[in-house]
């Protein structure tokens, strides 16, 4: 870290997010506004210089049309990429992962989340299982966007928003294209924490039939735990939040086909569950 500190740093930004104090510094002027737009949901800019974790972007010389950039987390290089856009994407991902791991009083679970009639539908799963398209279809069907990436839980099981544009992957290149909730449906984004109403562990398969299989609460907790970022670092807090989810929301596992059709079926399923509660 001492060697890295000796380099010339042009500007930076410090912010607080979920109880963490974080900073980003840059070796090139004129990038701070772009960095601010890449900060995690809930970030608040601060003038304090003392931080828990420091990220750095070192912009090098151009090799072709783009400069080579190295992204550091504290003293460790975490990405060496071509172009400032790619460096900011790497920074955004690293910041979200760190916040998900170390956030205070919150448990982050890899999941898409929408709100429907003041109840949350959770779609747990890692990348490439089709959850972003499912989330987008639910928003088109009238649900509120809560998150495309993380379900943010507190100890009592309430689900908090972690809003960002939905990243719709191109089927050929697998590159994400950001789409705002307002472009998809009239309900927009959720702003207040809401209880979980339904948990769907789904995976896309072309032509699949909608046949959800209900899980026991214990099995649902285990499935959620596999997608929980701080599961190993703070297992007791994670289990407390996940068990609260399992008590309040039935969980189902399924293979889905068309996302728009699945979205309508998911909403009808939640309505039936709510009516029978």
pLDDT digits (tens, 9 = 90+) for 164-180: 889 887 665 556 688 99
pLDDT of residue 4: 83
As beta bridge partners, residue 196 has: 120
Q: For helices 235-248 and 217-225, what crossing angle results, to 10°?
A: 140
Please classify residue 239 by burial: count the beta carbons closer than 10 Å to its beta carbon, then call 0-12 exposed, 13-18 middle and 19+ buried: middle
pLDDT of residue 174: 56
Q: Please state the length of the chain.
A: 277
pLDDT of residue 168: 80
pLDDT of residue 171: 60
pLDDT of residue 277: 72
- Cα gap 103→83, rounded to integer Å: 30
Question: Which part of the chain is CATH 3.40.50.300?
Answer: 107-276
Topology of domain 107-276, CATH: Rossmann fold (3.40.50)
The pTM (predicted TM-score) of the whole model is 0.92
Residues of the chain with pLDDT under 50: none
φ, ψ of residue 12 to 5 degrees: the values are: -170, 180
Edge-to-edge strand ranges of the sheet holding 67-73: 44-46, 11-17, 20-26, 53-62, 67-73, 76-82
pLDDT of residue 65: 84
pLDDT of residue 8: 81
């Amino acid at each position: 870290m001492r060697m890295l500190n000796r380099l010339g740093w042009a500007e930076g930004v410090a912010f607080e997010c979920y109880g963490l104090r974080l900073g980003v510094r840059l070796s090139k002027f004129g990038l701070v506004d772009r960095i601010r737009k890449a900060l995690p949901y809930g970030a608040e800019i601060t003038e304090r210089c003392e931080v828990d974790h420091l990220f750095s972007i070192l912009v090098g010389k151009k090799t072709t049309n783009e400069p080579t950039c190295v992204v550091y987390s504290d003293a460790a290089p975490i990405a060496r990429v071509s172009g400032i856009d790619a460096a900011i994407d790497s920074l955004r991902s690293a910041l979200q992962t760190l916040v998900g791991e170390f956030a205070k009083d919150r448990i982050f679970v890899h999941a898409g989340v929408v709100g429907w009639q003041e109840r949350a539908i959770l779609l747990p799963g890692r990348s490439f299982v089709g959850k972003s398209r499912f989330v987008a279809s639910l928003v088109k069907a009238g649900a509120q966007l809560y998150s495309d990436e993380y379900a943010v839980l507190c100890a009592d099981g309430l689900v908090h928003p972690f809003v960002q544009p939905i990243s719709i992957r191109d089927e050929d290149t697998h590159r994400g294209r950001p789409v705002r909730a307002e472009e998809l449906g009239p309900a927009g984004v959720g702003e207040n924490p809401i209880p979980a109403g339904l948990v769907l562990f789904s995976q896309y398969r072309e032509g699949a039939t909608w046949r959800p299989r209900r899980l026991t609460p214990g099995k649902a907790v285990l499935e959620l735990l596999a997608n929980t970022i701080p599961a190993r670092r703070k297992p007791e807090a994670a289990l407390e939040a996940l068990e609260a989810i399992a008590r309040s929301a039935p969980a189902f596992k399924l293979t889905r086909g068309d996302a728009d059709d699945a979205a309508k079926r998911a909403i009808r399923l939640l309505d039936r569950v709510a009516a029978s509660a």
